[in-house]
Structure formats: C-alpha cells, structure tokens
Structure 1
C-alpha cells in the first residue's frame, strides 16, 4: 500500500521542516508511486540517465564513485529522507552510483515534472536548491577531512555525522544507531585502508568512546567523540523533506 504524503512518517521526525497544506497536495500529485528494492540493488548508476527521482522512505544505502581500475570512493551514506537522482535530472546523467545497503522503500517522482515544480511552486524549488547547497557543504567538509585530519579524527567525524543523522530520524532512542554498512565502506569514505580503519575503531572502543558492532553504533562518550572530530554537536539543523 502506497503511503500518502499527508501520512508520511518522516514528516514527524525532528530533522525535517514542516510543509504547508498546499505543498502536501502538490507533492501527492508529483509522487507517482513507491518502489521496494532489496539490499545490494543499484538504484542509480553512474554515467546513466534516470527518468525517475526518489526520496528514501525507509532503509539505508551508499553513494559512491568508481575509477576505471575499479577503485571506489564512497561519497556519502544514504538515510531516510534523502532525495536521489537530481544530478541526472539537471545534468543528463548520474555522476555517482547509489546502492541499497538494506532493503529500501523509495517514493518515486517523474523527473519530467521537475520544471513544473520550479514554475508553479517556487518554494519547493528553493527547497531543492537548499538540498543542493547542503550537499555542497558536506562535500567541502569531507574534502577538508580527507586532506587535513588524522585517521582518528576522520573516523570520529564520520561516526558523529552518521549518529546525528540517525538522531534526527528518531533512530537513537535505544541508545544505539543503525549502521548497517561494512568497515570497508567507512574506510572508503574517509580515505583509509581497511586495516587502519579497523585499528582506529578498536582504539575508540578500547577508550570507551564509540562502539560499532553488529550493525549498531553506541557512543559511551559522545562528548569526547565530538571533540576528537572537531564537530559542533549542537541543535539539529532542520532541512526540507522532498
């Protein structure tokens, strides 16, 4: 059964800004359906065009780029509420691949209606611009992390970002956050070898700062992790839900 935009569970999460009644009506018309995909499914392929845009309703995934020799750079970790496919809509093709890490449910939108959105609902168009600027800001932080931070600082920064995102989705009530990815995914994201990443995670665990095991992250000493990461652990900054 397809979830109505008015009843979307993500709207209640602290991470997202509220939409007006008019915006909800438009989004319901813009939405063409839902797509369920299994873990390991490629949702969007680097170099390919997609006629569809997606918002992640449930599940988690990865965005990554692949070099010609097969080496991979993880660009970002995908959470519920992320909007996927905008590159293809605006640039003709995807510049990275998006893959499901867990089983996922995606809200599906027709990209041919995107220009109608900008024309008739400029507020929603601004929201898309905001999301693009947020992604640019994240990539700037990621580049600074890869270029300037030590290994433990890189790992701490990544864990803090993932924890805060899970927190904004209300997924940390049990005292842990879902992190279904592999250590290799984290290693690719922060530019470290798997061995170095493993040793760094072991150090954080040994010092009682962060524990990542069995697909869950616990932060026994969150303040210390934020200090190592040089991360501003303040209030949650709300973002548009598309």
Structure 2
C-alpha cells in the first residue's frame, strides 16, 4: 500500500463523474434516500448532525475538492447532513465506481483510506475546539481553520478569504450560545485580530490569530 502521508492523485475522479449540477445556498448536497457521493467543484458547505429536539452540531466545513457521502456509502446511512452555504457546483459519482480497480492509476482503496484519514484528522481538531478551547480560543480557531481551508484551494483574494458563515453556524460549530458568539466575535475584532465584512474575512496577523486560537 502507498504511503498514506502523501496526497494521492485525485485527477481520475473527473473521469468517473456522471453529471454536474448547480445548487443554491441553503440546499442539501445529498439526497436522503439514494446513496450518492458528490465532489465539490465550487462553493462552500457545512456538515452537521441534528438532535431529536432540533439542536444542531456542525461537524465540518466543506470546500472545493472534498467528497461528500463517503461515510454513508461505505458504512451505511448516518446522522450527518450537508447544506450549501454558498451557491455550489457538484459532480456526482456512482459509489460502485469508486471500488473498481484501475489498470493504470492510483489504488482506489488507498485513496479512500487517505480521504477518510484526512477527515478523521480534521475532526480531531474540531473536537478539541468544542471540548477544550474557551470561546475566545474557539472562535479564533474557527476563523483560522476557515482561512487555512480557503488557502489550500486557492480562494484567498486581495488578502481576504470567503467567510459565508452566519454567527449561528459558528455557534453551532463550537457549542456556544448565539449571544456569547456575537460578543466574542466583537471582542476579537476590537482586538484587531480579524475583520469580517461582505462575506469575507481579513486577518491582521496570522501568528497572532494562531496564538489566540492556542495553536
């Protein structure tokens, strides 16, 4: 098996795409009834879990290049949902195609394991923020995480990153109340760590923000 520390070549996924579709902000990325895997080509989404009383825990941010639906296809339906936070373009795949061997190309089993391992690594950081970081640290971490995800896929423009996250999304990511989230964001803004406006965030000093996030 290949070295899992090295990112596999995912270019072959373009050949497996059966269709592309555009969806608006607020729409679900995956159907609830049919197992499906989609790849994000453009746009930003979130993955979340709902409790029986309607409370929501945001589990992850989803950016271009991410695959959605892997867990439910491999292990059966789960409790996670995907919602577009911006207009998006998605490529759809037949889950069975991801298991077919390639005569000349990357081993797909290794690729799937790499993708799942990457998601587990991100989830570990997410859990640390929910469980251990205080409100200041957690929100600083969320902004830093959004910046790094955007930077990784080339979405930094004019020293700013997309930030299509309502304060309720930030609150539901970190287990905070909306009031506490609002006050903390204003406090960190007033400290000069970042500025959010027009759906984008500008960071004054990345090292200072990392320190504030206990990174």
Distance apart, 1:49 and its partner CA:
4.5
Matched, 1:57 2:41: yes
Structure 1 consecutive aligned stretches of length 4 or more whose deviation exceeds 4 Å: 117-122
Contact 1:49 1:94 in 2 (8 A): no
TM-score by length of 2: 0.89
Structure 2 SS opposite 1:80: coil
1:217 counterpart residue number: 201
Other-structure match for 1:187: 171
The answer for the alignment partner of 2:23 in structure 1 is 37
Task: Please give the per-residue CA displacement for 1:28-54, whole angstroms capped at 9, x wherever unaligned.
Answer: 442112111111111226xx4533211
The 3-state SS of whatever aligns with 1:42 is coil
Q: After TM superposition, give the deviation of residue 212 of structure 1 in Å.
A: 1.5
Mapping of residues 82-231 of structure 1, within 5 Å: 82-117=66-101, 123-231=107-215
> Structure 1 residue 143: deviation in Å?
1.5
TM-align CA RMSD: 2.1
Distance 1:27 1:131 in 2: 13
Q: Which runs of 5+ in 2 are unaligned?
A: 1-5
Equivalent residue number for residue 78 of structure 1: 62
Residue 223 (structure 1) shift = 1.4
Structure having the larger proportion of residues in helix: 1
TM-score, with length taken from structure 1: 0.80
Residues paired across the two proteins, number: 210
* TM-superposed deviation, 1:69: 0.5
